[in-house]
């Protein structure tokens, strides 16, 4: 079944459920029936709960910086052969085993040739960075990932190129050449060389041969001119090229900056221009590859802004506001109404997307101080942040090393340090492309040490991903808010048309209790389905939760 067929099926299911709920409401009936789809037993039905049952079938993604991950040839730089060698750590393809992390998708940071270590300034959109290997190495990696049921999306950086890209070199020296109008030149377009960049807070104009080009991030990244139809076609063709190689979709860098160049550009008209381009881009891809997944970096806390991009443009936009809320809840050990916020957010997303969206949730990424550093090294807080992330709707994205508590803070190089595989920080495959400032081989900080420790952060991540995979409402459901009545406990409902569960997180070290009657009379929660720690009890409506524990109740 392809994505278009799946959408039709989902719409049919939602219509049936909606009609059923309407009949229930009109007849005053408060009971319902549903098929048992839980591995653990009886599943509750959504009944007349006024929560829209819009499933978000999800996959746990893992963000990889190839340079830092695993080195196969001893040059100190991670590569595709090394990543392929470590696929079984991420997912060995065997659902009967539990010693792999259990992820279902990989997001590759830029893999194209680039003069920079990070790759976000591309010099060739249709080749592989030679530091990482060859196109053949990449295709072998794709094949092995797909054998294990792992989807692969890659960073696509179309807002700008490198200033060493052949297009830009030609444009800078040849005012009458083909590529001149592929970039934005102040003198050509009679623009004033002033203003403040919407991305860097600096002047976005840079000198080249006496003329000035737009580069909102820095001078090494000249912006492309998307008013030029040749640029638009080139980028659509580039997307198709990589889909033909076998990738499953793209993470779209700087998705809101295609037209948002200056701080004065912010506004609905500019947003509409961005959305129109991404609609065009998406349409060109899904016509041939209907299952293409597009997730955008729309770095903004506004759900209303992100919602614009879900209108037949992107399937997901990274939820930056949620990442901050999760980390603060874990750090302060206090409920901050995540369920209520998301319930309202998803109502807006449904309206804008025609019920076709999947949230993209995360704790941190390659641009943000690592979560363990933000949490001051507190492993219990890190476990609770992971518990929140992995029990919420959408596609959760885990930044490489997050599962072992890697540390890091700005500058960017220090939040992209080598993955720590071995005790003491050295061993086979360990990347050494830069000296580490934060991850210096402290005891217990490596995969080698944590993978066999049942109380480690890495084991906690494995457990949570396993729980998510085994409970349909966690994996694919939407969210409903409830008031736990206890500021130390975050609780919410997760719902599909066939199963409803209640998730409760005790954010503190001290045992806490909540009254499940607050979930509403239409729900009757009878048993503890999953727990990250022993000692929880359910007596009548009284749920008692041990310290720093995540529970799933059915």
Whether the Cβ atoms of residue 264 and residue 296 lie closer than 8 Å to each other: no
Q: Any idea which residue has 């991903």 for tokens? A: 465
Query: What value does the mean pLDDT take over residues 493-498?
Result: 93
Q: What percent of the chain has pLDDT over 90?
A: 87
| Per-residue pLDDT at 17 exceeds 80 | no
* pLDDT category of residue 3 using cuts at 50, 70 and 90: very low
Q: Which residue has the higher pLDDT, 73 or 26?
A: 73
Give pLDDT, residue 139: 98
Query: Does residue 28 carry a pLDDT above 90?
Result: no
pLDDT at 53 (0 to 100): 67
Mean pLDDT of the 387-406 span? 98
Does 171 have pLDDT greater than 90? yes
- Cα 247 → chain centroid: 17
pLDDT at residue 75 in the model: 97
369: pLDDT strictly greater than 50: yes
Q: Is 85 a catalytic residue?
A: no
pLDDT at 22 over 70: no
d(CA 215, CA 205): 6
Q: Pick the closest to residue 526 from 495, 490, 553, 494 (CA basis).
A: 553
Domains (ranges, CATH) in the chain? Answer: 61-159+224-470 (3.20.20.80), 477-553 (2.60.40.1180)
The predicted structure's pLDDT at residue 55: 75
- Neighbour count for residue 275 (Cβ, 10 Å): 23
Q: Is 253 a catalytic residue?
A: yes
Question: Which position among 54, 137, 253, 359 bears the catalytic label?
Answer: 253
User: pLDDT tier at 51 (50, 70, 90 boundaries)?
Assistant: low
| Banded model confidence at residue 521, pLDDT cuts 50, 70, 90 | confident
Q: How far is CA 317 from CA 199, 201, 330, 356, 359, in A?
A: 18, 23, 23, 12, 7
With a pLDDT cut of 70, the percent of the chain lying above it is 90
pLDDT above 50: residue 544: yes
Q: Which pLDDT belongs to residue 52?
A: 60
| Each residue's pLDDT tens digit, 449-473 | 999 999 999 999 999 999 999 999 9
The mean pLDDT value for 349-356 works out to 93
The pLDDT-based confidence of 523 (bands split at 50, 70, 90) is confident
- Inter-residue contact 273 to 295 (CB < 8 Å): no
Categorize the per-residue pLDDT at 24 as very low, low, confident or very high, splitting at 50, 70 and 90.
very low
Give the separation between CA 91 and CA 104, rounded to whole angstroms.
Answer: 7
User: What pLDDT digit, counting tens, does each position of 94-148 carry?
Assistant: 999 999 999 999 999 999 999 999 999 999 999 999 999 999 999 999 999 999 9
Cα angle 85, 91, 97; round to 5: 115
- pLDDT for 4 equals 41
Q: How far apart are CA 265 and CA 257, in angstroms?
A: 10
% helix, strand, coil for the chain, step of 5: 35, 15, 50
pLDDT of residue 1: 44
Annotated active-site residue in 85, 137, 248, 297: 297
Residue 180 DSSP one-character state: G
Strands 528-531 and 549-553 turn out to be antiparallel
Q: How far apart are CA 327 and CA 408, in angstroms?
A: 15
Query: Average pLDDT, stretch 202-222?
Result: 97
Average pLDDT over residues 494-506: 95
The closest of 528, 524, 548 to 538, measured between CA atoms, is 528
């Amino acid at each position: 079944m392809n994505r278009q067929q799946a959408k039709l099926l989902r719409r049919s299911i939602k219509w049936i459920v909606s009609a059923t709920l309407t009949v229930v409401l009109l007849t005053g009936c408060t009971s319902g029936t549903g098929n048992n789809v839980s591995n653990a037993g009886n599943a509750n039905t959504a009944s007349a709960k006024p929560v829209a049952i819009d499933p978000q079938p999800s996959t746990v993604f893992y963000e990889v910086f190839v340079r830092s991950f695993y080195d196969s040839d001893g040059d100190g730089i991670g590569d595709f052969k090394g990543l392929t060698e470590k696929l079984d750590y991420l997912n060995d393809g065997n659902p009967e085993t539990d010693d792999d992390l259990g992820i279902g998708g990989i997001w590759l940071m830029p893999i194209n040739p680039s003069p920079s270590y990070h790759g976000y300034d591309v010099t060739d959109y249709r080749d592989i960075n030679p530091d990482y290997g060859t196109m053949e190495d990449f295709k072998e990696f794709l094949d092995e990932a797909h054998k294990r049921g792992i989807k692969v999306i890659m960073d696509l950086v179309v807002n700008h190129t490198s200033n060493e890209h052949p297009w830009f070199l030609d444009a800078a020296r040849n005012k009458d050449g083909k590529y001149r109008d592929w970039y934005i030149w102040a003198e050509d377009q009679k623009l004033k060389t002033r203003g403040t960049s919407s991305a860097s807070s600096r002047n976005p104009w840079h000198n080249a041969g006496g003329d000035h080009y737009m580069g909102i991030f820095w001078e090494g990244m000249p912006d492309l001119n998307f008013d030029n139809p040749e640029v638009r076609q080139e980028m659509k063709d580039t997307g198709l090229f990589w889909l033909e190689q076998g990738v499953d979709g793209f993470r779209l860098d700087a998705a809101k900056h295609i037209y948002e160049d200056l701080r004065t550009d912010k506004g609905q008209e500019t947003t509409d221009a961005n959305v129109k381009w991404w609609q065009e881009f998406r349409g060109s891809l899904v016509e041939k590859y209907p299952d293409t997944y597009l997730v955008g970096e729309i770095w903004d806390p506004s759900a209303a802004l992100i919602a614009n991009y879900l209108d037949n443009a992107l399937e997901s936009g990274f939820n930056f506001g949620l990442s901050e809320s999760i980390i603060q809840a874990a750090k302060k050990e206090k409920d901050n109404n995540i369920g209520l916020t998301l319930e309202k957010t998803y109502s807006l997303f449904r309206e804008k997307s025609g019920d076709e969206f999947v949230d993209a949730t995360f704790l941190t990424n390659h641009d943000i101080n690592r979560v363990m550093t933000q949490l001051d090294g507190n492993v219990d807080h890190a476990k609770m942040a992971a518990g929140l992330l992995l029990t919420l709707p959408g596609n959760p994205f885990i930044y490489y090393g997050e599962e072992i508590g890697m540390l890091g803070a700005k500058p960017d190089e220090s939040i992209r340090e080598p993955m720590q595989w071995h005790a003491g920080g050295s061993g086979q495959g360990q990347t050494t492309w830069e000296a580490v400032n934060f991850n210096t081989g402290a005891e217990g900080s490596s995969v080698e040490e944590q993978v066999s420790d049942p109380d480690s952060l890495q084991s906690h991540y494995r457990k949570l991903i396993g729980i998510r995979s085994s409970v349909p409402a966690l994996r694919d459901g939407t969210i409903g808010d409830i008031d736990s009545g206890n500021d130390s406990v975050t609780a919410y409902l997760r719902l599909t048309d066939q199963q409803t569960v209640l998730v409760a997180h005790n954010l503190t070290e001290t045992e806490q209790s909540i009254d499940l009657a607050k979930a509403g009379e239409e729900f009757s929660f009878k048993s503890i389905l999953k727990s990250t720690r022993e000692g929880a009890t359910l007596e009548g409506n009284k749920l008692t939760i041990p310290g720093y524990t995540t529970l799933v109740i059915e």
